[in-house]
Structure 1
Amino acid sequence: MTDPHPSLPTRPAAAGWSLLELTTVLAVVALVCLLALPALDGVVTRWRADMLRMQMVTAFNMARNTAITRSQPLAVCASADGRECGTDWERGWLIHRDDGPDARPLTDTDILRFQRGSSARGVRAFASTGRSRLRFQRDGRSSGSTLTVDICAGDALHSQVIVNNVGRTRAQRVPQPTPCPD
C-alpha cells in the first residue's frame, strides 16, 4: 500500500516526559526524602559515635606505644581547647607528658598531640567516675583503676572504650538498647 499523502512528512512521536509527569515524580521523591530524614538522622548519629570510638581507641593505643617507645610516662585527658584538661571526652583529648598525679597547667613542650573529638549533636562521651585522665607508665601499664569511656548516641548507650591496668585498650558496642548513664 502506498502512502495516501506523500507530500506530508511523518513526524516521530515526541520522546521525553511532559511537565506534569516530571512535576509529579519530583513531588513523590521530595515526599519520600522528607519521610526518610528522621530515620537517617539516627543512623548518622550512630556513625559519628562509631567514629569517635575508633578515634579514641587509636589515641589510647598511640599514647601507650609512645610511652613505651620514649620510656616516659604519658597521659591522655579530655580537652576541648587543646591547652587544658577537662571532662568532655566528646570534644577532644590531649596526649601529654605526665610528671605526676597533680593536674598542673601544661606547657607547649608537654603537649604531644591534640585531637578534636566529635562536634555532632547527640554524641556524648564521659569517663568512669574518678578518672579524669588516663596515665601510662614507661612500660605501657595504666596506673590506677580501669578506665571506661561511655559513648552515647542520642539517649542510648552506644559503645564503650575500656583500658585495663595492663594498658590494653578494647572497645565494644552495646548489643542491647541501654539508657545512657548520666
Structure 2
Amino acid sequence: MLPPRRHSRRLRGMTLLELSVTLAIAALLCLLALPSFSDALGRWRADMLRMQLVSVFNSARSTAITRHAPVAVCPSDDGTRCGSDWSRGWLILLDPATGADLATPERVLQFRAGYDDHGLRATSSRARQRLRFQGDGRSSGSPLTVDICAGGRLHGQVVVNNVGRTRSTRVRVPIDCPR
C-alpha cells in the first residue's frame, strides 16, 4: 500500500506591495472624505448649541417664575464674568435691580462651559448682550436674537420675544454669517 499523498498547500497572504497599495487607497479616500466630515461636524455642533440655548433660556425663565425674582442669562467663557460669545458657555444668575456687577459668586446659579471650537460662534445683537427675565417670566427689553454660525456660515438662530417665549430656527441653506 502506498503512503497517503501529502498535499502541499502553499499558504498565500498579501505581499508588502499589495498591502502598501491598499493602505494608500484607504488613506486617499479618508483625505477626500475629511472636509465633508468636518463640515458635518460643524453643522452638528451648531445644531447642538441651538438646542442647548433654547433649553437654558427656558430654564432661566422657569427659575425667574419659581423664585418670583429677576434672573439673567449671559454668555461667559470662564464662569466669573459675562462675555460676548454664547458658544463658549453661559451663566444663569440672579439679576440685581441696580447696574452692579452681575456675576458675583453669590448671584451665580449655574455655569455651563461651552465649546472650544473656534469655527463655532454664537452672538447676539450689540444692543442686547444678556437676557433678563422678570419674576413673571417676561423678557424685558427688545427681543433677543442669537445667530449661530459654524465655519463662517449662519446655521441657525434662537429668538426670545418680550413675552419670554423662546423659538429656534434652522437655516436650510447656510448663508454668510452676519456681523
Normalised TM-score (structure 2): 0.91
Aligned length: 178
**Partner of 1:159 in structure 2?**
156
Q: Does 1:95 align with 2:89?
A: no
Please tell me whether the aligned partners of residues 93 and 102 of structure 2 are also in contact (alpha carbons under 8 angstroms).
no
1:177 Cα deviation (Å)? 2.7
1:129 Cα deviation (Å)? 2.9
Identical columns (%)? 56
Secondary structure, in 3 states, of the residue corresponding to 1:138? Answer: coil
What does the per-residue CA deviation read over 1:23-78, in whole Å, with 9 as the maximum and x for residues that have no partner?
22211111100111122111111111111111111111110111111111100011
Q: Does 1:10 align with 2:7?
A: yes
Letter in 2 for 1:58: S
What does the per-residue CA deviation read over 1:151-173, in whole Å, with 9 as the maximum and x for residues that have no partner?
11112111001101111111111
Q: Does 1:120 align with 2:137?
A: no
Secondary structure, in 3 states, of the residue corresponding to 1:114? Answer: strand
Matches within 5 A, 1:31-50: 31-50=28-47
Please tell me whether the aligned partners of residues 48 and 120 of structure 1 are also in contact (alpha carbons under 8 angstroms).
no
**Partner of 1:110 in structure 2?**
107
Matches within 5 A, 1:132-171: 132-171=129-168
- Select which of 173, 176, 180 maps to 2:177: 180
Gaps of 5+ in 1: none
Gaps of 5+ in 2: none
Residue 151 to residue 113, structure 1, CA distance change in 2 (3 Å) = same
Tell me how far apart the structure 1 counterparts of residues 135 and 26 of structure 2 sit (CA, whole Å).
59
Tell me how far apart the structure 2 counterparts of residues 78 and 13 of structure 1 sit (CA, whole Å).
68
Tell me how far apart the structure 1 counterparts of residues 103 and 126 of structure 2 sit (CA, whole Å).
23
Secondary structure, in 3 states, of the residue corresponding to 1:81? Answer: coil
Residue 22 to residue 37, structure 1, CA distance change in 2 (3 Å) = same
Shifted more, 29-38 versus 98-107: the winner is 98-107
Structure with higher Rg: it is 1
Tell me how far apart the structure 2 counterparts of residues 101 and 126 of structure 1 sit (CA, whole Å).
25
**Partner of 2:79 in structure 1?**
82
Moved over 4 A (4+): 5-8
1:16 Cα deviation (Å)? 4.3
Shifted more, 43-52 versus 134-143: the winner is 43-52
Please tell me whether the aligned partners of residues 136 and 167 of structure 1 are also in contact (alpha carbons under 8 angstroms).
yes
